[in-house]
Structure 1
Amino acid sequence: MTPVLQAEGLVKSWDGNRAVDGVSLALAPGEMLALIGPNGAGKSTCFNMLNGQLRPDAGIIRLGGRDITRRPPRAIWRLGVGRTFQVTATFGSMTVLDNVRMALLSHARRLLGLWRPARHQLTGEAEALLARVGMQAQAGRPCGILAYGDLKRLELAMALANQPRLLLMDEPTAGMAPAERGALMAQTAGIARAAGIAVLFTEHDMDVVFAHADRVLVLDRGRLIAEGAPEAVRVDPLVRQVYLGGMTG
């Protein structure tokens, strides 16, 4: 089976220092892959190369076997790569439904006001996406008054608007209460596995990582130092030395 995402030998340097040094990874459909490591390990740089915000100095990135290494973020998004961010990116003055509808309009390449008001377009599709993340009851509420956990769920719905094959999630549970973190990631995993969406996520909450990742990659100083099932990574001596410290259980 062709991986949804395959990256080989990624390298990125800043002022002569390698932020990412020969990283390779692959994701299968429906797989939840966690990318973890200490601050400055190169996680964000990897993410930004995978979605086109940064161009690698070396290496190749393939989406479904197709070379996307030099494509810009917009082109990569249209090929089926969704992304959520550590700080949510929604329109606070617009309703929940309208935020999702805007994402759908962008995916459909439609211009506002071209033939009918945007509020009449793609309503059914937007409502279906909100139902997938459990937000349909809040469709008419302005985003500016939502609880932070609900904003994260809305952002997930928006990331699904382009029917992604790959979903990149940068610190998806940052700022959330502990109970909300597990619920969001369980929901994400259920959606991903049902639809065959590959998910790559970074996360500092190790309870979230070990509960919801199928595999874990560990970076340190730009290099991949461990890869495997969560329980194998948890007890890896080098990982415990450089990142997990005295974590037990």
Structure 2
Amino acid sequence: MSLLQVQHLSRSFGGVRALDDVSFALPAGQLLALIGPNGAGKSTCFNIINGQLRPDGGAVLLEGEDIAGMAARKIWRRGVGRTFQVSAAFHSMTVLENVQAALLSHHRKLSQLWRPASAYFRDEAMQLLEQVGMAGQAQRACAVLAYGDIKRVELAMALSNAPRLLLMDEPTAGMAAHERNELMALTRRLVNERGISVLFTEHSMDVVFAHADRIIVLARGKLIAAGDAQAVRNDPLVREVYFGSGNTFETAREERA
């Protein structure tokens, strides 16, 4: 059985059908890319899986349990982590303190502090920072970090609840090419070591084709293609809907460089 099963998901906003009968599955230990043009329904799909939106219909099964409509905090407790396109780190806090704050939430200690928060889960936080290559910057304020390093801190925070499923929304947005590949290579290593599943959205096709095990494509709320990189790259409907007539993935990569 797949770790995540999305079944016949639908969601409308007024007269706009953001998701229209979308179904897909994600096995354990796999990186699945969710791509599509602006307005395709990617964020809506993410926000339903994460508990920030309720679907109008359909189910989101996490190891067989329907989590659709649950509060985001309850989904977090069930082992779903998330990183965001816009930085969610506290820039006035140190790298270490950001990860400690995530661990305090995971261990339900936020309302039971009898000593300074910085004294809790220090070793556990340092282990997470070691995994993402940020232990050497633990005492630096996030405000002074390079953008790629902030993304690594957010990844450590997302790993604080030992997730079975990790949702990554535009994880490499704003990064240089070498930073994009380094972050996704790190994500691949963590997937292999932890056996977790990753669902990520991404506009950089070089990242998608280089790192995703499978790719699913949305357009106007509908799932129009699914498969490995080669199958999606060669799909005529994907070329037409995603890039427009006469355009190709290779041309799009050049335009985005």
- Gapped regions of structure 1 (runs ≥ 5): none
TM-superposition CA deviations, 1:55-74 (whole Å, max 9, x none): 00000111111111121101
**Which residue is 1:73 aligned to?**
72
Moved over 2 A (4+): 111-116, 244-249
Note if 1:194 corresponds to 2:193.
Answer: yes
Check conservation: 2:81, 2:158, Cα contact below 8 A.
Answer: yes
Note if 1:9 corresponds to 2:13.
Answer: no
TM-superposition CA deviations, 1:71-116 (whole Å, max 9, x none): 1101001110000000111111111001000000100000366222
Q: Percent identity, aligned pairs only?
A: 62
Letter in 2 for 1:38: P
Deviation of residue 188 (structure 1)? 0.5
SS in 1 for 2:151: helix
Check conservation: 1:129, 1:157, Cα contact below 8 A.
Answer: yes
**Equivalences for residues 64-143 of structure 1 within 5 A:** 64-111=63-110, 114-143=113-142
Question: How many Å separate the matches in 1 of 2:86 and 2:102?
Answer: 17
Question: How many Å separate the matches in 2 of 1:93 and 1:131?
Answer: 21
Q: Tell me: CA distance 1:60–1:113, structure 2 relative to 1, closer, same or farther (3 Å).
A: closer
> CA-atom RMSD, angstroms?
1.1
SS in 2 for 1:11: strand
SS in 2 for 1:115: coil
Deviation of residue 25 (structure 1)? 1.2
**Which residue is 2:219 aligned to?**
220
TM-score, structure 1 normalization: 0.97
**Which residue is 2:174 aligned to?**
175
SS in 1 for 2:105: helix
SS in 2 for 1:248: helix
**Which residue is 2:165 aligned to?**
166
Letter in 1 for 2:250: T
- Gapped regions of structure 2 (runs ≥ 5): 252-257
Check conservation: 2:85, 2:169, Cα contact below 8 A.
Answer: yes
Question: How many Å separate the matches in 2 of 1:247 and 1:110?
Answer: 48
Letter in 2 for 1:116: R
Letter in 1 for 2:217: V
Question: How many Å separate the matches in 2 of 1:212 and 1:178?
Answer: 13
Check conservation: 1:97, 1:126, Cα contact below 8 A.
Answer: yes
**Which residue is 2:255 aligned to?**
none
Check conservation: 1:30, 1:194, Cα contact below 8 A.
Answer: no
Question: How many Å separate the matches in 2 of 1:79 and 1:30?
Answer: 17
